[in-house]
Amino acid sequence: MAGRKVLKGKDLYKVLFYGVIFTVVAVGILAFWGVREIRRDAAVVAVENSARGLSGAVTVLVNAVSNSNSEIESKILMSLKPSVLHAEFGKVFKQHSSLTAVMIADGQGLVYMLARRPDGLMETVPTRGGDLSTAWTLWRADGSRSKTKPASPFERQMVDKTLSEEFKHLMPGKVNWRSSYRFHGASESWITASSLVETDTGESFMVSYVFPIDAIVNQLGGAEKGGAEKVFIFWETGKVLPIPNIDGEKVLGDRASKALPFDKVGDPVIAGAAARLAADSGKHEAPFSYKVNDEIWWAYVLPLSVFGDTMSLGVAMPRRNIVSTLTSDTFLQVFGSILVFMAACVLFLLHKYRARIEAMGMRKEAARNADDVLQLIAAGESGRLEFKQTLRFNLRSGKNGKEIEHANMKTVVAFMNSEGGTLLVGVADNGIVAGFDEDNFGNEDRALLHFNNLVNQHIGDEFARYVDTLAIKVRDKCVLRAFCSPAPTPAILKNGQDEEFYVRSGPASRQLSLSQFYEWLQNH
């Protein structure tokens, strides 16, 4: 059978044995990797959804202000008369106590501004190129007014540049949040929400509402967080403001003092997220994980500005809030234990039935047709191949003889106690295919039955499974092929009252003495 690639008995066992180990390791790795990817995807979705949900809660704040004035904004912006603007926006200030200022801008910068002060509303209608700090009018609660200066210094060029830049980039229908510290030195205490308004004449103006950070804190503190345990606002300056959980009661006071550098924040979870954000600006683009006190947290910051450069809304949630039962550490441990247990059971069964598996593998080497037999004959007798011309007929005496049957069974036993092999009955010692017509069985089936009966009688029926017999026509002659696999236990040949033990030694079968058998047994 030259050129045929087959798995030998021991090779088949090794393939199955190591195949089970490889499969278990592969499944374990794939399961771990798969659960890890599921965890990551679940975490990304969870923190992104939480951040977007909270950003919607923030947008509700400006919508509440802008919607109440949306019907009149387009009309009053057509004239831009200060008296009309002051009267209409003054109503908005009365309805929304958290509103601090309203600014109207076009592509060149500030057009109008109305700001709340303890003693009234302060208004400015700046001229192009003028000094913003000298153009204020204070409208007091009693209706009187007077010229005044702003409490905080405003740099006109910076205001116009910032507003015109935002105007050019802001898309209709969108709300852009920015930190007001970009306008003046008010730190992170104020934020601005801007949107575009188109008049009936087709002109567009940007209306910006300014709120204290307290308003955002209260809005976020009472909002549904969607699994997030930590909420914070992060500024490009590296400062961070934790958002406390608020249940109905508003947070009052100067929140600017609460916006601290990340290394000054007392909450280790928020401080850890802010530190990574400050160190790597790329983390602004995607959720990321980090460890705090041996616990894995996931964080994500959603820029509230269309420019993505001033302030972002951040959320952080522990992995335990994200992972499901099928992605938990407990699941991995249980799955791993079951996998190892199943592998151990399979390996135990493989070891238990190793002999049968090896026998199955060995049978793949067995000759199945005339060409296979001729290839074997061409190779000549060896430690795994022997020729016998007859099964029971003694050519010398001219009659059937037990000694011929014994010689055949001796070869079978020797193969079983060695590496296995093939016995060809009907082939002369010189390789000539003679057939076994002299045995006079009448037909092939009777020859096979007689051979199998000899195995059961002289070796034992428990060893019959290790002998595969087949009658094959070769050059019009019948050849009995007996393929023998190695037996897991010593095969003893019963010869009358005697018991004999044979092994292959080159192309011959050699009988071992009792001491040699003992030595063989120790080695096997």
Query: Would you say 429 and 437 are in contact if contact means Cβ atoms under 8 Å apart?
Result: no
**Predicted local confidence at residue 511, as pLDDT:** 93
Q: Are residues 19 and 151 in the same domain?
A: yes
Query: Would you say 195 and 69 are in contact if contact means Cβ atoms under 8 Å apart?
Result: no
Owning domain of residue 493: 367-523
pLDDT exceeds 80 at position 360 = no
Q: For residue 390, how many C-alpha atoms fall within 13 Å in the half-sphere facing its CB?
A: 19
**Predicted local confidence at residue 423, as pLDDT:** 95
pLDDT exceeds 60 at position 271 = yes
**Predicted local confidence at residue 88, as pLDDT:** 81
Q: Are residues 405 and 260 in the same domain?
A: no
**Predicted local confidence at residue 249, as pLDDT:** 46
Instruction: Kindly report, residue by residue over 127-138, the tens digit of the pLDDT.
Output: 765 555 556 777
pTM over 0.85: no
Q: 184-193, 302-311, 357-366, 395-404: which range is least confident on average?
A: 357-366
- What DSSP designation does 257 have? G
Of the residues 333, 365, 397, the one at which a domain ends: 365
Q: Are residues 96 and 218 in the same domain?
A: yes
Mean pLDDT value across the chain = 78
Query: Would you say 420 and 369 are in contact if contact means Cβ atoms under 8 Å apart?
Result: no
Q: Which residue has the higher pLDDT, 32 or 406?
A: 406
Q: 12-26, 152-166, 290-304, 315-329: which range is least confident on average?
A: 315-329
Q: Are residues 338 and 402 in the same domain?
A: no
C-alpha distance from residue 45 to each of 38, 306, 323, 349, 414 (Å): 11, 21, 12, 45, 69
Give dist(CA 483, CA 316) in Å, integer.
70
Q: Are residues 31 and 150 in the same domain?
A: yes
Q: For residue 299, how many C-alpha atoms fall within 13 Å in the half-sphere facing its CB?
A: 29
Tally of domains in the chain? 2
Instruction: Kindly report, residue by residue over 328-338, the tens digit of the pLDDT.
Output: 566 666 767 78
Q: Are residues 305 and 438 in the same domain?
A: no
Beta bridge partners of 366: none
Of the residues 302, 332, 365, the one at which a domain ends: 365
Residue that has been written with the tokens 């051979």 in this structure? 451
Q: Are residues 114 and 18 in the same domain?
A: yes
C-alpha distance from residue 364 to each of 360, 386, 413, 472, 484 (Å): 7, 18, 20, 16, 11
In this prediction, residues 251-261 reach a mean pLDDT of 56
In this prediction, residues 337-346 reach a mean pLDDT of 80
Q: Are residues 240 and 250 in the same domain?
A: yes
**Predicted local confidence at residue 300, as pLDDT:** 84
Q: Are residues 288 and 356 in the same domain?
A: yes
Q: Are residues 157 and 268 in the same domain?
A: yes
Give dist(CA 45, CA 227) in Å, integer.
11
In this prediction, residues 503-522 reach a mean pLDDT of 91
Of the residues 332, 347, 365, the one at which a domain ends: 365
Full DSSP string of 72-84: HHHHHHHH--HHH
